[in-house]
A and B are shown apart, each in its own frame.
Chain A
Amino acid sequence: MMNEQWPLMGFGIELAPITANKLEKIRAWRNHPDIAEFMKDKSIISAAQQQAWFASLAENKQQVYLLISYKGEDIGVIYATTCVDNNSTVHANRNDEASTEVTPLDLAIVINPGLYIAPDCKYKNSVLAFSPSLVFIEYLFKQGRCNYLQAQVFKHNNSAIRYNEMLGYQQDEMNEHGLVTMTLSLENFTLAKAKLSKILRFK
């Protein structure tokens, strides 16, 4: 994880690095059918897999995962990864075989963000669900060289498509698996944020 000063705060919420004592709570959210249904990888995460993933986070410069909290209550997870398709650099290694190196998040031109709100959270269908994205997206555009965010959403996930469009995303192509690619520029995000800020009037 990068060395910025955490937590990120704004619009009433706080985004902080995940700690070991939260792992099982997060795993339960991630494995819940309401969340897993919209993940590309729908497999059940074991406790051992969760621990291994957490151990890898500290050294992984291509990803960042943050816990969302509101008024001291943990309400979800927001994350970003380097977009492999657009940021990979192919170079020759010592054996002259081509190898692929994924760019760290702070050098990535395109970043894939995502979030989920806890399935039992009373705020999951409220305007508050926009707060973590507003804070995190602004951070992603400022932390490095990011020009675009790119999200992939299943075509039947109307809520997520509408949610992304409210944030300024625009729909691109859909692949053979029914995944719609949505792209967000800083310019469109700035316009969307101005509109959403009129409702999310946190002091």
Chain B
Amino acid sequence: MTAITILVDAFVTALEVPRSEVNESLEYNSHKQWDSTAHMILIAQLENDFEVMFDIDDIIDMSSFTKAKEILTKYNESISF
């Protein structure tokens, strides 16, 4: 499974949205399904799927689909989206 597929799946699971809504424009405070609980589930899912442990500042800063890619790449340079 590719990294982008794993990432999209994590967003689908955490936000309970269809895959079609997971795209570059997805960010919190603009999508109704993205609330604090969804954010919590998303972080746990990403840490599990990508075997990383984020710094708390990066967790709070993970405010969009694009930002998630950027932060994940910072933790593992071998990941390519």
The interface of chain A, by Cβ under 8 A from chain B, is 12, 122-130, 159, 162-163, 165-166, 196, 198-203
Indicate which residue in B28, B40, B56, B59 contacts A166 across the interface (CB closer than 8 Å): B40
Q: Which residue of chain B has the shortest Cβ distance to A196 in the bound complex? A: B40
Known A-B contacts A125-B35, A126-B60, A127-B60; A199 and B29 likewise in contact (beta carbons under 8 Å)? no
Query: A159 near B35 (CB under 8 angstroms)?
Result: yes
Give 13 A-B contacts (CB < 8 Å), ordered by A residue: A122-B29, A123-B60, A125-B34, A125-B35, A125-B38, A126-B60, A127-B60, A130-B36, A130-B40, A162-B37, A163-B35, A199-B44, A203-B56
With A199-B43, A199-B44: A126-B56 Cβ-Cβ less than 8 Å: no
Residues of B within 8 A of A202 (CB): 56
Q: Is the Cβ of A127 less than 8 Å from the Cβ of B39? A: yes
9 smallest beta-carbon distances between A and B, as pairs = A129-B36, A162-B37, A159-B35, A125-B28, A127-B40, A125-B35, A127-B39, A126-B39, A201-B56
CA–CA, A202 and B58, complex, Å:
12
CA distance A17 to B23 in the complex (A): 42
Cβ contacts under 8 Å, B40 to chain A = 127, 130, 166, 196, 199
How far apart are B14's CB and chain A's nearest CB, in angstroms?
A: 11
Docked CA distance A200–B35 (Å): 16
Distance (whole angstroms) from the CB of B10 to the closest CB of chain A? 14
Partner of B35, one of A122, A162, A198: A162
Q: Is the CB of A12 within 8 A of B29?
A: no
Quote the shortest CB–CB distance from A76 to chain B (angstroms).
12
Smallest CB-CB separation from A129: which chain B residue?
A: B36
Task: With CB as the reference atom, state the residue of chain B lying closest to A201.
Answer: B56
Query: Given the complex, which residues of A lie within 8 Å of B60, measured CB to CB?
Result: 123, 126-128
Give chain A residues whose Cβ lies under 8 Å from the Cβ of B35: 125, 159, 162-163
